[in-house]
Structure 1
Amino acid sequence: MTLNELDTYAPVVAMLVLTVFAVIAAVWLGRYIAADRTMRASIRQAVRVRWSWKRLAQMAGLSVTDKMPTPLAAFTSDGDKPPKPRVLTPSLKVKPDRFGIVARANCLPKVSLEQFQKAAPFLADAWRCTRVSVLPDGPGQVVIRGVRTDPLITLTEHAPTGEVPEDLVIWHLGVYEYAQPVTVALSNVPGVTVAGLPGYGKTSLINRFICDCAPAPEIQFAVADGKVSAAYEGDYADLMGRLFAFVGDDLKKANELFKRLVKLRRGRSASIKDVLGVKNLWQVGPSENWPLTVLIIDEAHTFFRDYKGSDPETKKLAALAAENARLVEDLVKKGRSVGMLVILATQKSTGDAIPTFIRDVCPVGLSFAQKTAEASVAALGDDIRNWPDANPVNLQDPAYVGVASMALQGRPGFTRLRTPYVNDAHTSEISSATAHLTYDPQTLLDYYTDHCPATLIDLDKGNDSKVA
């Protein structure tokens, strides 16, 4: 190409390059203007992190010196002077979000996951973050999460979409202290325990679960609420349309409900092979014909209390409570493979509130604020003593209403998480819109097994209508 040709094309190339940069700048500026105040702060933070990274990485010990010259450096260097060694720093890609930034970096020789984790406190100070975490992100990669505002004390509200969840058996709990989503897989899980002081978020957590799953006919719900005598008095009043059964604090009616569900469990166990062709529901997953049946027992201690006394009424209550425990034990220990899940909520999940033969076989447990270390251990196990920062006794401040501690699946130790509040108006709207999807699983089983005798085990002479 001649000089004249270069002079001809150079302005065109320069104009194209400037146009590309102008478009990129316009898009970036448009996103910045459209963002709210919190998001703008995160965008500015992300820019600072990118610009200062190479210098900060060297200061924080996240660099390595390469003394081997590149072929080009060796070819162009002065023969009397060896090429200068290169200082290599990990490449960094940064994205902002409402709580701070998420950065992904590659590892280098002698700069691996361990070095990034050791440097996390320095990065937090330099990036003006409340805390920074570093986790593996595949071979030779790490993800660095920096939160500028503490997600645990940031109140959040959840608005159900009214759409069928992508995964029917994933329970979305909220976000943990690094503002990343926390989920629990409920497949092959027989029971969940939820503990915590009154008013700290137990029922709101369960309400969200019902609202998110309500559009799916593959899940059906029953509730035993020990806080109230009638549905209209309690937290589940707005959800009645989506419950195939509800009882209050009446031990006899609760007993009838538990018997109904044990009858369902036995019928399913007897017929699952013939109906589904498998011995374990989770090989094929829940369906509208064979829904995951969720029993929620709120204020569980009401139904299992150890009554003391010799008068006839007390003896009667004691017998009902003992039988309730036996029936729920049956559901928890034998219902997993046939698609039955029990969620037990109580203030203090000690053995007198939830019998240990039930509590200790529930693989998922979380706890909101607790008054005593004994209550924390009962809810989360003895290992919580080794994780004092996550102990629920530290969550009694009003700022931590809605914050719980739990052992996350696949992660060591315990983690604190923020659960969102669900407005009663959303709850009522979702319940009304999905009420037509509510069916009694026993009726479904009887229909699809053509009234197979195995499903009609006579545990109780009560009918199958909704318990009121």
Structure 2
Amino acid sequence: MKGPNDPAEGTFDYGPLVVDLALAVLVGWTVWWVVRYLRADAMTRQSIRQAVRVRWGWKRLAPMLKLSVTDKTPTALASLANTNGKPIKPRVLIPALKVTHDAYGVIARASCLPRVGLEQFQKAAPHLADAWRCTRVAVTQDKPGQVVIRGVRLDPLKFPTEHHPTGEVPDEKARWDLGVDEYAQPVAVDLTQVPGVTVAGLPGFGKTSLINRLLSDWAPSSAVQFACADGKVSAAHEGDYADWVQRMFAFVGDDLEEANKLFRQLVELRRARSASIRTVLGVKSMWDIGPSEGWPLVVLVIDEAHTYFRDHKGSDPKTKKLAALAAENARLVEDLVKKGRSVGMLVILATQKSTGDAIPTFIRDVCPVGLSFAQKTAEAAVAALGEEIREWPDANPINLQDPTYIGVASMNHQSQPGFTRVRTPYVPDAEAARLAEQTATLTANPYALLEAVLGPRMGEVNLTKPDADAA
């Protein structure tokens, strides 16, 4: 005989099935986390444990740092449940926190509350660093009502990195991926509408490696063409760009007269493009439609720029000739930087000290993007990054002279105030050489491309074609 609580005939008791399903999910989740933990490297395992501590300790830590609010207004449910008439106890609201990890530390996303927003989290950042055992903590706004708290246990600037180019055409044209900042977040610079970039720093601290990264990433695109003046060498087969020469439509060494020819040819190209841009592209600025195979972005790299601009003192004929060439070189490069932006010409100038004697101020001061690796003097740091760097002592490149910081540069980032430090990666020579060889067939003289488009109309620009042998 069935009791009153026995299941009705024909029904099925789902209770044990639900319990079994819940246990299976729990076991599966546990196994997934254990496998993930065991497969991680030692640094990531530490970050996993750190993330667990952050999650478990948040509800206790937040009120201690005044990152919580007291809500004295009872909820509707609490009011209905209050039958004895006693005052309802206020609720303590704590921002919801979601925590992820990487090899360097944790990334937490927190929801804001009334009177607990971006400013309050930023004030608490030093205390969060202590509580979470981090080297540093930064707080930024992710979206309205939410902040991102980045805590790094290890300093990303102290760990050398490598970049392995894929050989694929970049998705975004004129995007320069530099590396990671002091919070291990990727840093990129948009060089759209940028006429010039200056790169300064002591020898051997990463200037050429930084440019090598740009060449490696942009070389697979036929919409970019390169020229180079390398003041460290006398011939194309020497120096850091020996492998890249095959991907360049022009290359000169430390000979001032040869460099002068190249700069003059590029100025002629700039004039030809300025005179014909509306005819060929139908726009005033190339950036309105972006670079293309027929109208590529022309990148001129001037390494050891002081070689070509240095003021030569002396009254003998040879010195006078060098002085005249240096002065004209400066005038020609000034033309490219000040007038080449809209027609798709970019100049990258690298030197040890970007003081006025190395890069004339009328060139340097119109280059909107500047980076500096280690510097020995405050004067050199100011020349490279501007007077404002004095107000950011932590980012001053005079603090990067330790060999640990080879490959680390300071820069004024486009998307945030002040200065940031960036760990730039090293591109293995063998991979750079392989990529240069693979993309060599994409090399084309931009002047010849323009001439092919204009045809008989080329004479309308009334300019002289660059010397093909020199180019």
Identity, % of aligned positions: 67
Q: Does 1:415 align with 2:420?
A: yes
Amino acid at match of 2:30: A
Q: Does 1:193 align with 2:201?
A: no
In the TM superposition, residue 258 of structure 1 has moved relative to its aligned partner by: 0.6
Task: Report if aligned partners of 1:190, 1:333 keep a CA contact under 8 Å in 2.
Answer: yes
Match in the other structure for 1:91: 96
Task: Report if aligned partners of 1:263, 1:455 keep a CA contact under 8 Å in 2.
Answer: no
**1:453 aligned to 451, 459, 467, which one?**
459
Task: Report if aligned partners of 2:233, 2:253 keep a CA contact under 8 Å in 1.
Answer: yes
Unaligned 5+ runs, structure 2: none
Amino acid at match of 1:257: L
Match in the other structure for 1:331: 336
Amino acid at match of 1:114: E
Amino acid at match of 2:342: S
Match in the other structure for 1:65: 70
Unaligned 5+ runs, structure 1: none
In the TM superposition, residue 456 of structure 1 has moved relative to its aligned partner by: 5.5
Match in the other structure for 1:296: 301
Match in the other structure for 1:118: 123
Amino acid at match of 2:366: V
For residues 405-464 of structure 1, give each alpha carbon's deviation from its aligned partner in whole angstroms, at most 9, with x where no partner exists: 111002111111111111111110110111111111111111011141145612x8x622
Amino acid at match of 1:351: G
In the TM superposition, residue 28 of structure 1 has moved relative to its aligned partner by: 2.1
Match in the other structure for 2:7: 4
For residues 336-356 of structure 1, give each alpha carbon's deviation from its aligned partner in whole angstroms, at most 9, with x where no partner exists: 000000000000001100011
Give distance in 1, aligned partners of 2:180 and 2:159.
Answer: 11
RMSD of the TM alignment (CA)?
1.6
In the TM superposition, residue 42 of structure 1 has moved relative to its aligned partner by: 1.4
Match in the other structure for 2:30: 25
Match in the other structure for 2:274: 269
For residues 187-217 of structure 1, give each alpha carbon's deviation from its aligned partner in whole angstroms, at most 9, with x where no partner exists: 1000000000000000000000000111111
Task: Report if aligned partners of 2:262, 2:470 keep a CA contact under 8 Å in 1.
Answer: no
- Matches for 1:11-410 after TM superposition, within 5 Å: 11-410=16-415
The TM-score, its normalising length taken from structure 1, stands at 0.97
For residues 25-59 of structure 1, give each alpha carbon's deviation from its aligned partner in whole angstroms, at most 9, with x where no partner exists: 22222222222221222122111111111111111
Q: 1:296 to 1:454 in 2, by over 3 A?
A: farther
Q: 1:66 to 1:2 in 2, by over 3 A?
A: farther
Amino acid at match of 2:400: L
Instruction: Give SS of 2:349's match.
Output: strand
Give distance in 2, aligned partners of 1:101 and 1:211.
Answer: 31
Instruction: Give SS of 1:422's match.
Output: coil
In the TM superposition, residue 81 of structure 1 has moved relative to its aligned partner by: 2.3
In the TM superposition, residue 86 of structure 1 has moved relative to its aligned partner by: 1.1
Task: Report if aligned partners of 1:190, 1:335 keep a CA contact under 8 Å in 2.
Answer: yes
Give distance in 2, aligned partners of 1:454 and 1:151.
Answer: 55
Amino acid at match of 2:239: G
Task: Report if aligned partners of 1:267, 1:454 keep a CA contact under 8 Å in 2.
Answer: no
Match in the other structure for 1:463: 467
Number of aligned pairs?
A: 465
